[in-house]
Chain A
């Protein structure tokens, strides 16, 4: 059974701080990794994806991937209250671009 694990949180950070969200996965053969943001009662929206080991930056967001440790993380710099949401880690699971989602980490950014 392929699994994606996330700390459910809540992760509480002050406005302007760096939020660090972590995710581990069980399938060593996984090649693609995604971070989604989901507001309560809404569907997920893609923040970014990463395929290669190392860091990938997009604005205030940085994804980090370490395939040897089967670990992927998301850093949010200069956190804003509007970043408060549940962040879902998803891992590509083979054919037809299937995604296996983690349970999500709830982030709360307080002023």
Chain B
């Protein structure tokens, strides 16, 4: 199946700093990628939809100025957590959409996730 990578897998940063997380589709092109966050024992919460060459679409309640998304190529999307605070500590997961027929059959392939800890 298709492979999606994320980097870094784990990051610890100090409060007030910014952290960039990369999501790459390794063997397919993805015009659409998604960013999720997951708190312990909770479900994945969709943060935003990242579209190559255009602005990301953020879900209600997600601060676009805090979570900057850039989808500069068909294989790379980045999420930058700006001015991180301890409450931003979470598991961030990206997925890339592999378009088969342009319908619901299109499958999202998930990256391995990035565990962010803000101290």
Interface, chain A (partner B; CB < 8 A): 31-32, 41-46, 49, 51, 88, 92, 96-104
A85 to B76, CA, bound (A): 30
* B97: chain A residues within 8 A (beta carbon): 96-97
Number of interface residues of B (CB under 8 A): 23
Per DSSP, are chain B's interface residues mostly helix, strand or loop, or mixed? strand
Q: A100-B46, A103-B42 are in contact. Are A42 and B104 (CB under 8 A)?
A: no
Partner of B112 from the list A42, A49, A97 (CB cut-off 8 Å) is: A42
Interface members, chain B 78-119 (any A CB < 8 Å): 93, 97, 104-108, 110-113, 115
Chain A residue with Cβ nearest B45: A101
Partner of A88 from the list B43, B49, B105, B115 (CB cut-off 8 Å) is: B43
A57 to B112, CA, bound (A): 27
Q: A96-B51, A98-B46 are in contact. Are A31 and B113 (CB under 8 A)?
A: no
Output the least CB separation between B102 and chain A (Å). 10
* A98: chain B residues within 8 A (beta carbon): 34, 46, 49
A93 to B18, CA, bound (A): 31
* A49: chain B residues within 8 A (beta carbon): 104-105, 107
